[in-house]
Amino acid sequence: MKYYLVAGEASGDLHGSNLMKGLKIHDSNAEFRFFGGDLMAAVGGTLAKHYRDMAFMGFLEVVKNLRTISHNFKDCQNDIEQYQPDVIILIDYPGFNFRIAKWAKERGIKVFYYIAPKVWAWKEGRVKRLQQNVDKLFTIFPFETEYFRRFGIEVCYEGNPLIDALDQKRDRLPSFDEFVAKNQLANKRIVAVLAGSRKQEVEKCLPLMKQVAAHFPNYQFVVAGAPSLSREFYAPFLIDGVVKMVYNQTYELFNVSEVALVTSGTATLEAALYNIPQAVCYRTSHISATIAKAFIKVKWVSLVNIIMNREVVRELLQYDMTVEKMVQELVSLLPGGARRDQVLHDYAELKGMLGEVGSSARTAKKMVELLSE
């Protein structure tokens, strides 16, 4: 069968690539074309557009890039029409993918949505668009099954694909000594710094995160460079030597770190699965924050807290993201700190809720079965 996948972010590229591997196992004739990234391209098929050209976040940022987004949408339409797939698999990225779903449904193309949009967090009215335009919804969090059932949508939940991504890496991760040697780092304990995967996030969050480093002279602060951003973009943040950077080595960095400063998003869950106590820190423009506050329905922004339905990790958001508060939280999370043991205990419970290895392959098998009916 011919599969057309649409992923607009680094996390979508990761999960899309693992899903494609599963589809190849269960469909020996699988052919792929996609909007995605390097990981999906490595599996096979044709990369029609890279997610680097698509990742815009925040209300102002989206408005400023409306022309580019419109061109991307047209390019995707035209590419799908030429490819004539048996199914379109939309991976998260709802602002773009909702439009593709509606357009595809109007043309009688089967639509699967993998990694359900977080309608439970904000804009719940979008559930109607899922009901109308999506043939099957595939979720990755356990609480989503009951949530969507309230709206008459029976979902397919086969566990969380992050478990697969981490498992694939685990046997190939370097030791601390190997990691610092490879990246020319000091022989000092590490605080991981994840300042986001988009330019706007890094520009707002990284300068504040850097100031925290002066309070921990016995540690080195190491930034995880996101694959969606170029090394040149990071250069101005690194020139003073306060922090170091490793590029496209997030899991390797987590594996050798003791604590982390993490922006909201998938990275908060990844840190938890690596047993890295973290402070969740996020700041955006005042206008974007004000608008978001009016629409967001959930009590927390980090996936760890949302899944656990309680505060496991502290969230320092917008004007609560201060150097003083980040320092206080890191002190409590370092070895011997007041909160470290409890956070690690909660992480163990979280892992039990997310299922076993093999989520991507199980989901792919279900997709092939549905397409063969």
Q: How many other CB atoms are found less than 10 A from the CB of residue 252? A: 19
**Could you report the per-residue pLDDT of 77-113, keeping only the tens digit for each?**
999 999 999 999 999 999 899 999 999 999 999 999 9
Q: What is residue 235's predicted lDDT score, i.e. its pLDDT?
A: 95
- Whether the CB-CB separation of 262 and 280 falls below 8 Å is answered with yes
pLDDT digits (tens, 9 = 90+) for 197-214: 888 889 999 999 999 999
- Compute the Cα dihedral for 29, 35, 41, 45 and give only its sign: positive
Confidence band, pLDDT 50/70/90 cuts, at residue 264: confident
pLDDT recorded at residue 296: 58
Give the model's pLDDT for residue 64.
53
Q: Do domains 2-158+358-372 and 167-353 have the same CATH topology?
A: yes
Query: What was the pLDDT predicted at 291?
Result: 46
Radius of gyration of the CA atoms of the chain, in A:
20
* Domain assignments of the chain as residue spans, ordered by start: 2-158+358-372, 167-353
Neighbouring C-alpha atoms within 13 Å toward the C-beta of 152:
5
Compute CA distances 226 → 125, 152, 327, 348, whole Å. Answer: 32, 38, 24, 27
User: What percent of the chain clears pLDDT 90, i.e. is strictly above it?
Assistant: 76
Whether CATH 3.20.20.10 fits 167-353: no
Which helix (H) or strand (E) covers residue 280, if one does?
strand 278-282
The encoded tokens of residue 50 equal 């890279």
Q: What count of other Cβ atoms lies within 10 Å of the Cβ of residue 239?
A: 8
pLDDT band with cut points at 50, 70 and 90 for residue 68: low
Confidence (pLDDT) at 294:
47
Q: Which residue type sits at 305? A: N
Residues contacting 49, CB < 8 A, separation 6+: 35, 72, 75, 76, 79
Q: Which pLDDT score, from 0 to 100, does residue 292 have?
A: 53
Strand segments (E) across 110-264: 111-114, 136-139, 156-157, 189-194, 219-225, 244-247, 259-262
Look at the block and give the residue holding tokens 């490793």.
Answer: 246
The residue type at 344: L
Mean pLDDT over the full length of the chain: 91
CATH H superfamily, domain 2-158+358-372: Glycogen Phosphorylase B; (3.40.50.2000)
Q: What is the pTM assigned to this prediction?
A: 0.82
Q: What is d(CA 24, CA 156) in angstroms, rounded to the nearest whole number?
A: 19
Quick check: 56 pLDDT over 80? no
